[in-house]
Amino acid sequence: MREKQPNSIIEKFRTASRQYSDASIFMHEAIARKAGLSGADHKYLGLILQHKELTAGEIAKLTGLTTGAVTGLIDRLEKKKLLKRQFTKDDRRKVIIIPNVENSMKLLQPIFNELQQRTTALINSFSEKEIHIIERYFVEATTIMNETTDNLNNK
């Protein structure tokens, strides 16, 4: 086992991590405003775009939103033609949500182009070993945050 890191190193890391988290939120809020979306709708759209199709219940489970809030989200995104509702043939009560990737990319890609170029240049400035270490941190920190979210939502 490795020796414990000095508190000053951990505090500097936590400060940098907090600043990164804050900057990420502020940037995504600005991106959302530029795209004509709320910050939350922008992030939920990003989550929906990771799937070919979802039910409203699956969106609720992924996001922690109530089914009523998910209905409002779907209404807003459908109105902007960023997704569509499709009824299943065997049960007209069941609705499948299908993201409109083309319209979403048309809206978001111009906003993200420079960001992606700059972050790619930054990533390329690290060695392969450093990239694996950074990736490991993000993967494991994401697991911790997801577990924390689950614990808070289930209490």
Count of the separate structural domains present in the chain: 1
The kind and range of the H/E element at 107 are: helix 101-124
pLDDT recorded at residue 48: 95
Range(s) of the domain holding residue 40: 7-124
In a domain, 141, yes or no: no
Q: Is 78 exposed, middle or buried (0-12, 13-18, 19+ CB in 10 A)?
A: middle
pLDDT tens, 58-94? 999 888 899 899 999 999 999 999 999 998 878 777 8
In a domain, 38, yes or no: yes
In a domain, 134, yes or no: no
Confidence of residue 153 (pLDDT cuts 50, 70, 90): confident
In a domain, 151, yes or no: no
In a domain, 51, yes or no: yes
In a domain, 107, yes or no: yes
In a domain, 147, yes or no: no
Question: Which CATH number fits the domain that encloses residue 95?
Answer: 1.10.10.10
In a domain, 132, yes or no: no
Strand pairing report for 54-55 and 83-87:
unpaired
pTM for the predicted model, two decimal places: 0.80
pLDDT tens, 25-63? 999 999 999 999 999 999 999 999 999 999 999 999 888
Tokens of 78: 């459908």
